[in-house]
Structure 1
Amino acid sequence: MKQFYVFGLILFISVNIKAQFTENRKEYSKYTGLYSFFYDDKKDKVYLEVSELNKEFLYVYSLSSGIGSNDIGLDRGQLGNEQVVYFKKAGNKLLLVQPNLKYRALTNNTLEKKSVEQAFATSVLYGFKIEEEKNGKYIIDISNFLMQDTHGVSKRLKQLKQGNYSLDLSKSAFDLERTKAFPKNVEFDVLLTFTGEAQGRHIKSVAPNSSRITVAQHHSFIALPDNGYKKRVFDPRCGSYPFSYYDYATPVQESITKRYVTRHRLEKKNKDAVISEAVEPIVYYLDNGTPEPVRSALLEGGRWWNQAFEAIGYKNAFQLKILPDDADPLDVRYNVIQWVHRSTRGWSYGSSITDPRTGEIIKGHVSLGSLRIRQDFLIAQALMNKPFAERDDNYQTMLDLAIARIRQLSAHEIGHTLGFAHNFAASAVNRASVMDYPHPQFSIKENEIDFSNAYASGIGEWDKVTVAYSYSEFSSKNEEKKGLNEILKRAQNQGLRYISDQDARPAGGAHALAHLWDNGKSITDALEEVLKVRKLAIENFSEDNIKKGEAYAVLEDVFAPVYFFHRYQTEAATKIVGGLDYNYTTKGDGQFTVKVIPENEQTKALNSILKTLDASVVAIPKNKLALFPPRAIGYGKSRESLMGRTGVSFDALSAAETVADMTLRFLLHPERASRLIQQKALDNNNLGLNKVLVSLIDNTIKKTHKDIYFQQVQNTINYRVLYYLMQLANNEKVHAQVNALAYLKLNELQGVLASKSDMNSLEMYRRIVDFKENPRNFAIINSPKIPDGSPIGMNCMH
């Protein structure tokens, strides 16, 4: 009897809940679209109507409002992961299931498909109790699902040691202004508040109350595209992002890994015409909150891509317009360029929502940092010769330079959302791609710095190759295979090179042509030119590089990009030492695979690099030091200021220490040192680590200057050299031969220093002795942190 009573009570409650929904349905606001849903404003709840079970759709989450810190990285408009999901009934619940699309069996054999599906895990993202079931339609309460911290805000804050925060539902609610329903997508927006105790300076710097952090998370349910999209085979030479999965139905003689390019769907209206409009053009929309003159620059630069589509026979296939006032940037129907504000300058992003089944790009989404333009403006301000000597409105040249960069930035980030990867070898081939990172290129004419060629304009030749490979139409599969190979062969014959991210990073990177922010076919010649520009800019630098009435503390910050102007070209030059040249080759394509950079080129690069460790080159001229008094109240140092060890006074020695550390960190990178050992072993004519270390010591520790100031600057640099030698001697990740050679040089130095009586020689001698007695206790002494440099005007994280 008791069991019957309990069962009856459960049944009564269940029926009562369902009855309550039915009775109150008329009071709820109804939204009709891909999924119809109801909003109960009394309880702040959302009920979803599911009419088709086991039907796949795309679920995407994102941030519709962010935190505003580049360091934290939770920005307005930031996309999360896209996931194919479907609703499945299980008892009195609907489960939201994410199938495993990484492992597939593309076959008509149902049992073979099932065997693969059952072999790998799926994921149930959520379980929803059925509130009502009627005529094959199910009502579920999705409020708690939508009010999760799906984007991982609290996790991110904890990882970055900004504090321990938890979601406070009492301070969270749905935002109906951005909650909408459309035929092919429904959008939910939720205001989420996280409470906790702030620990990090980044969160404290941007939040009005750092114990309560409120952001908005966005959820999109999106209809998947039809099956009319045609996948295109990925080639490592093509410049596109690869999309891949494993097909277990593949014959044994073929690769189980399938790779395709990511791209938008694009077809000609008239397939037989040489030039035709598209069935559906690729249309991007610019954030209507973007101000002038940035707005016009972004529109102009973004539209460059149409040049590449015209080159393959499309008319107006790529378009860029202003986002309508009533449109939401996170609505999947719009490819969007969003203007994002942060407390400090930072990266820009080109990301996409893609169909995980095929790699088809459904939505391109660009986020551009609004402070980026100011860094290029500052570089121009620093390099100009007395721009504010006569009037304070003489800024047009600076603005023109910054706007030129914004045009290129727009094209670059849109390129990512079209499916294209970085090409960091393009700068060595006449600036052949907007997908490189462009350092402003200056020259000296009649003893003045010339700005006219700072940034390239228009789409590059390599960009036309990537568009041709990804978006050209072909009459058949055989024609496509042949045509794609011809596109890449023509590019090769034109001398165009393609090297992307993993081979371009500066630390232990080896590719001699691929680097971030470098210029020139000859990296070494470009470094020499950069050093000349830097020298002239420093000679010209004066109080007239700021406006009348501005604090001299501002002048110090304007000086920073001039002083470190050579940093990226120096990084690029270090990659030639122990460097390689190689291609992303495929069998039969006629490209060489890999070769060592010739000894004479490595030596030439080394000689130029060593200039950045010469006090007479890097020391701030004595007659400029009076420009930098202790900072005024209200003008404290920032992360973009020169740091030092002398308290309130400007520290010229630390500036040299910081810039020397930058060079040495790359030149004596452990991987480079090991590579130099191997290269010398393979061919005795190669440069080798011994020559690098001998040249380094000869041009630093053994170098003397008559000028006492220069000598003290040199001494500061020399200590950095010593630390990096010790680090090589003590490093467990290098070849043992590197340790042996570094120890040998320390022993030789010890003998040289023992014969000297000046205090710095004696101190270096003491440090070598101490190191040899306690090598395991050695830790390199940090130099004052180099001011933020990258992004000079951009970067992308995908």
Structure 2
Amino acid sequence: MRIDTPVWLFLALASLVLSTTGHAQETDSANEEESPRTIAEITGESDRFEGLFTLFRDRDSGETHLLIKPDQLDREYIYFAVSLNGVRQGGHFRGNFRDNRVISLSRHYDRIEFHYENTAFYFDPEHPLSRAASANISPALLASVEIAAEDEETGELLIGADELFVSEQLLQIKATPDPDQGPKDAFRLGDLSDDKTKITAIRSYPLNTDIQVEYVYDNSAPVVRGNEEITDSRYVSISVQHSLIAIPENDYEPRFTDHRMGYFSQQITDLTQDHPTPYRDLVERWHLVKRDPNAELSEPVEPIVWWIENTTPIEFRDAIREGVLAWNRSFEKIGFRNAIEVRVQPDDADWEAEDIRYNVLRWTSSPDPLFSGYGPSFTNPRTGQIIGADIMLEFATTLRRVQYQRILGGLGGASTEIPEGLEPGYCSFAHDLQVSHAFGRFAVNALNLGSAVEEQVLREFLIDLVLHEVGHTLGFAHNFAGSRMLSHDDLYDKAAVDRAGLYATVMDYTDIHVAPPGRDQTNFFTLVPGPYDDWVVEYSYSPGVDDTTAERQRLDAIAGRSTQPSLLFGTDDHVMRGAGLGSDPRIHWYDMSNDPIRYAVERIELIEGLLDDSVDKLSREGQSYHELRDGYIVMLAQIGRSISVLTHQIGGVYINRSVVGQPGARTPFEPVTLEDQQRAMAALSEHLFAPTALAAPADLYNHLQEQRRLWNFRNATEDPKIHEWVLDLQSSALNHFLHTRVMSRITDSRLYGNEYGLAEVMTDLTDAIFAADLRGDVNTFRQNLQTEYVRRLIAIVADEDDYDHTSRSMALFQVQEIERRLSRKRGGNLETRAHTQSILYLIERLLEGNA
């Protein structure tokens, strides 16, 4: 029987079959798309960078991936970051070390986590408390990145690297704004641009992997435009290199610090030890081992090799080499021959200075440098072993270009400001040494010493600079107590200076040594490591012994020599670099000889003589008077340094860091002698406060002209601000005398030997400022000084929070004494009478307001 099938039913069934088949195909296709991609599939069109960590970068999109092997999980590495390029106002500059930590990777389900490890604490593994080692210590989870692919056979994992590096997860690039500054007060970076920020280079080696990133910050409407080095303040680029480094596997033995000498260290606190100072701080030092342990003098297995970058001016290279190799003198004394080597990077070298496998002395010429030399190192934070270092040197250091604002801002001796990105371990030595070099150049011209001597000044300056910065890379901290090694007369004895140098250490902030007329010129700068440097090299690098107890005794014996005068030590947190900072005037910048008062006075008198005929000596035919102005400002800065040395003797307390029972130990706190404090006050009275102090010839003042350039006087006037500059110098001394800490210390120290009490100090200070012209005219410099002094005294009287009662009482007494003296003053020119009435008016308002 024939059955007719309707056409519509046939079509419906066909449609159903096709639909089902199509759906099945779509489902199969979807399943194929959803199936995990393999590592090979993701990286098939990528360049491969094999090394400690393997990275892949897609040749079309630039997308980057990081390969992680199973044995790289739950393992520690060293993370190190350095700025490759930037702008000062953005807080970055080439060679600026940014971070140095221990980092680890771990897996959490389908993600890889990156952690910073806390290395600040130690738990004795034998102590029960070690089981609670993680209690109340915050971990740092930096990033959690999704796993993109996994190889089931090898266990290798692949993650996206862009998320990790093209962000601020590993390192904060943009500085936190100063809460005391508004948007109009300072230049600020904009927002990080996701589109513009990119990985620019990848280098991977067996022991380290380096990833270079250009971070771009956008700000469509900046309030502060920034300096000339910022091409367009809307778009600012900062380049940073991130390095992952294998933990060294060697026989390096950590060495514990001793508080009587100075080096960079890893601070570690033992939380299982019952001791007043449970410290296990580790010296930062290179792994230096004798090739022949039994030889009295042996080359090291691996020397410390420095490369002079091919950017270095040819004419500077010999001096730089000499400065580096001078440290070998100290290492030879502990049995190492050629511990340090110097090589020159070829012009066609196949490696870049950024490669952390090389220690490089690098040169830049920046428009507005933060430094003239900068020498940090990076370490294994677990042990203190130094792994690598660079030294940045600025060409501006050697030029005649004077940075007015930075010098004028430090007329009181030095700036106490630490720029963004440089703390801790900030070193401004090279900038300050630049001022010394500039003064030396002007002095050579003014004294008619000739071009050969000027070249000698530059050569010695470079050697001193490199000695200091290499010292930092060896692990040595500043020692600002090295200037008193030689007697005043020995400074002018060539044999004495050739034998030991000018300073006990190159880690001090040294000033140029210029002999005044009638004295023999020895070195301008120190050219060799001193006895303190030999000592700290011995402690840090001398070969140890296997027995733990014997090694501790050996190191204690070395440190026990700290009471020798040439081994005096004081570093950044002790130095009297500004008002209220530090208390020991032996720990000071720019002082010299075991009689710093005499040397400071001699330097001021030298400059006073140089100023007398500076117009003739520092003016050049056919040129503007810009160089003359430079010379005057640099000489003022030199006077400011000497004033600082003199001022800080008053109220000073020597700090001695010997331990109980140590041979030669002195009392921890000893006030400066009455004789020295009074000598310093007398010198200040004559050279800073007297009516004729800081005076210069009239024909100098009217030649202090800065050379015009476009509209650089648009927001100011170009006439010299002579009274302002002089008052800045005088105020720097008042800042010290009238600081609450200093006034309180003068009173406190009377209880343990100070014979120059607050009453005597303040009476002598008032006499120095007022006595000389009580019966005559008061010149305008003294008017400024006297008014400033009285205003400060009045402020102390009114300040009930910061000053103790003794200080406020003495300030009030001096105000009333000044009123008594001035109220009896008769005569004087109109300026003097107006000035006298002005001060009496200020005092009257104070007394009436506190009646």
The interval holding the TM-score normalised by the smaller chain is 0.7 to 0.9
Superposed displacement of residue 98, structure 1: 2.1
Q: 1:37 to 1:346 in 2, by over 3 A?
A: closer
2:673 equivalent to 1:598: yes
2:585 equivalent to 1:512: yes
User: 2:594 matched to which residue of 1?
Assistant: 521
Superposed displacement of residue 285, structure 1: 2.2
The 8 Å contact of residues 174 and 189 in structure 1, kept in 2 or not, is answered as yes
Q: Distance in 1 between matches of 2:590 and 2:162?
A: 47
Q: Structure 2 counterpart of 1:43, which letter?
A: S
Q: Distance in 2 between matches of 1:662 and 1:371?
A: 28
Task: Provide, for residues 679-730 of structure 1, a one-character-per-residue CA deviation record: whole Å limited to 9, x for no partner.
Answer: 33555x711122122112212223229997x822222222222233234334
Which one is further off, 360-369 or 759-768? Answer: 360-369
DSSP 3-state at the match of 2:352: coil
2:432 equivalent to 1:432: no
Give runs of aligned pairs for residues 571-720 of structure 1, distance below 5 A. 571-590=644-663, 591-592=665-666, 593-610=668-685, 611-629=687-705, 632-634=708-710, 636=712, 647-680=717-750, 682=752, 686-704=755-773, 711-720=779-788
Q: 1:147 aligns with which of 143, 152, 166?
A: 166
Q: 1:112 to 1:326 in 2, by over 3 A?
A: farther
Q: 1:743 aligns with which of 808, 812, 826?
A: 812
2:283 equivalent to 1:265: no
DSSP 3-state at the match of 1:702: helix
Q: 1:315 aligns with which of 327, 337, 344?
A: 337
Task: Provide, for residues 129-183 of structure 1, a one-character-per-residue CA deviation record: whole Å limited to 9, x for no partner.
Answer: 111110210011011211113553432577773125111122222213xx21100
Q: Structure 2 counterpart of 1:379, which letter?
A: F
Task: Provide, for residues 274-314 of structure 1, a one-character-per-residue CA deviation record: whole Å limited to 9, x for no partner.
Answer: 11111111222232212133333222111111111111110
User: 1:779 matched to which residue of 2?
Assistant: none
Give runs of aligned pairs for residues 309-708 of structure 1, distance below 5 A. 309-323=331-345, 325-347=349-371, 348-374=373-399, 375=434, 376-386=436-446, 395-430=451-486, 431-446=503-518, 452-476=522-546, 477-490=548-561, 492-493=563-564, 495-506=566-577, 507-508=579-580, 509-590=582-663, 591-592=665-666, 593-610=668-685, 611-629=687-705, 632-634=708-710, 636=712, 647-680=717-750, 682=752, 686-704=755-773
List runs of 5+ in structure 1 lacking aligned partners.
Answer: 777-798
Q: 2:192 aligns with which of 145, 162, 167?
A: 167
Q: Distance in 1 between matches of 2:560 and 2:366?
A: 44
Q: Structure 1 counterpart of 2:444, which letter?
A: M
List, as ranges, runs of 4+ consecutive aligned residues in structure 1 with deviation greater than 6 Å: 11-15, 157-160, 705-708
Q: Distance in 2 between matches of 1:157 and 1:194?
A: 15
Which one is further off, 25-34 or 554-563? Answer: 554-563
Q: Structure 2 counterpart of 1:761, which letter?
A: T
DSSP 3-state at the match of 1:293: helix
DSSP 3-state at the match of 1:547: coil
2:158 equivalent to 1:87: no
Larger radius of gyration: 2
The 8 Å contact of residues 267 and 280 in structure 2, kept in 1 or not, is answered as yes
Q: Which has the higher contact order (CA 8 A, sep 6+)?
A: 1
Q: Distance in 1 between matches of 2:297 and 2:312?
A: 34
Q: 1:664 to 1:17 in 2, by over 3 A?
A: farther
Superposed displacement of residue 648, structure 1: 3.7
The 8 Å contact of residues 401 and 451 in structure 1, kept in 2 or not, is answered as no
Q: 1:254 to 1:379 in 2, by over 3 A?
A: closer
Superposed displacement of residue 72, structure 1: 5.2
Task: Provide, for residues 564-609 of structure 1, a one-character-per-residue CA deviation record: whole Å limited to 9, x for no partner.
Answer: 3221122122221111112222222232122111111111111112
Q: Distance in 2 between matches of 1:175 and 1:546?
A: 50
Q: Distance in 2 between matches of 1:255 and 1:371?
A: 44
Q: Structure 2 counterpart of 1:603, which letter?
A: Q
Q: Distance in 2 between matches of 1:578 and 1:261?
A: 34
Q: Structure 2 counterpart of 1:418, which letter?
A: L
Q: Structure 1 counterpart of 2:140, which letter?
A: S
List runs of 5+ in structure 2 lacking aligned partners.
Answer: 1-22, 400-433, 487-502, 827-832
Which one is further off, 415-424 or 158-167? Answer: 158-167
Task: Provide, for residues 192-215 of structure 1, a one-character-per-residue CA deviation record: whole Å limited to 9, x for no partner.
Answer: 2111144446x3332111111012
Which one is further off, 27-36 or 312-321? Answer: 312-321
Q: 1:265 to 1:630 in 2, by over 3 A?
A: closer
Q: Distance in 1 between matches of 2:533 and 2:613?
A: 38
Give runs of aligned pairs for residues 180-195 of structure 1, distance below 5 A. 180-195=203-218
Task: Provide, for residues 625-659 of structure 1, a one-character-per-residue CA deviation record: whole Å limited to 9, x for no partner.
Answer: 23225754549479xxxx99xx4432332232222
Q: Distance in 2 between matches of 1:689 and 1:180?
A: 64
DSSP 3-state at the match of 1:700: helix
User: 1:780 matched to which residue of 2?
Assistant: none
Task: Provide, for residues 420-447 of structure 1, a one-character-per-residue CA deviation record: whole Å limited to 9, x for no partner.
Answer: 111111011131100000111112134x
Q: 1:304 aligns with which of 322, 326, 331?
A: 326
Superposed displacement of residue 317, structure 1: 1.1
Q: 1:450 to 1:165 in 2, by over 3 A?
A: farther
Q: 1:139 to 1:151 in 2, by over 3 A?
A: closer
Q: Distance in 1 between matches of 2:740 and 2:33?
A: 70
Q: 1:471 to 1:760 in 2, by over 3 A?
A: same
Task: Provide, for residues 366-401 of structure 1, a one-character-per-residue CA deviation record: whole Å limited to 9, x for no partner.
Answer: 223332233444323332345899xxxx64433421
The 8 Å contact of residues 300 and 337 in structure 2, kept in 1 or not, is answered as yes
The 8 Å contact of residues 576 and 584 in structure 2, kept in 1 or not, is answered as no
The 8 Å contact of residues 519 and 569 in structure 1, kept in 2 or not, is answered as no
Q: Structure 2 counterpart of 1:715, which letter?
A: Q
The 8 Å contact of residues 562 and 658 in structure 2, kept in 1 or not, is answered as no
Q: Distance in 2 between matches of 1:147 and 1:727?
A: 52
Give runs of aligned pairs for residues 117-266 of structure 1, distance below 5 A. 117-134=134-151, 135-149=154-168, 150-155=170-175, 161-176=186-201, 179-196=202-219, 197-200=221-224, 203-226=226-249, 228-250=251-273, 252=274, 256-266=278-288
DSSP 3-state at the match of 1:445: coil
Q: Distance in 2 between matches of 1:580 and 1:254?
A: 25
The 8 Å contact of residues 303 and 320 in structure 1, kept in 2 or not, is answered as yes
The 8 Å contact of residues 72 and 157 in structure 1, kept in 2 or not, is answered as no
Q: 1:200 to 1:439 in 2, by over 3 A?
A: farther
DSSP 3-state at the match of 2:638: coil
Superposed displacement of residue 760, structure 1: 0.8
Task: Provide, for residues 340-377 of structure 1, a one-character-per-residue CA deviation record: whole Å limited to 9, x for no partner.
Answer: 43323433322221111111111123223332233444
2:353 equivalent to 1:283: no
Q: Distance in 2 between matches of 1:468 and 1:433?
A: 14
Percent identity for Structure 1 against Structure 2: 21
DSSP 3-state at the match of 2:631: helix
Task: Provide, for residues 83-132 of structure 1, a one-character-per-residue CA deviation record: whole Å limited to 9, x for no partner.
Answer: 212221111111112222223324268x8544213552221111111111
Q: Structure 1 counterpart of 2:320, which letter?
A: L
Q: Structure 2 counterpart of 1:690, which letter?
A: A
Superposed displacement of residue 248, structure 1: 3.8
User: 1:59 matched to which residue of 2?
Assistant: 79
Superposed displacement of residue 775, structure 1: 8.2
Superposed displacement of residue 246, structure 1: 2.8
Aligned residues: 749
Q: Distance in 1 between matches of 2:282 and 2:811?
A: 47
Q: 1:589 to 1:315 in 2, by over 3 A?
A: same
Q: Distance in 2 between matches of 1:254 and 1:680?
A: 29
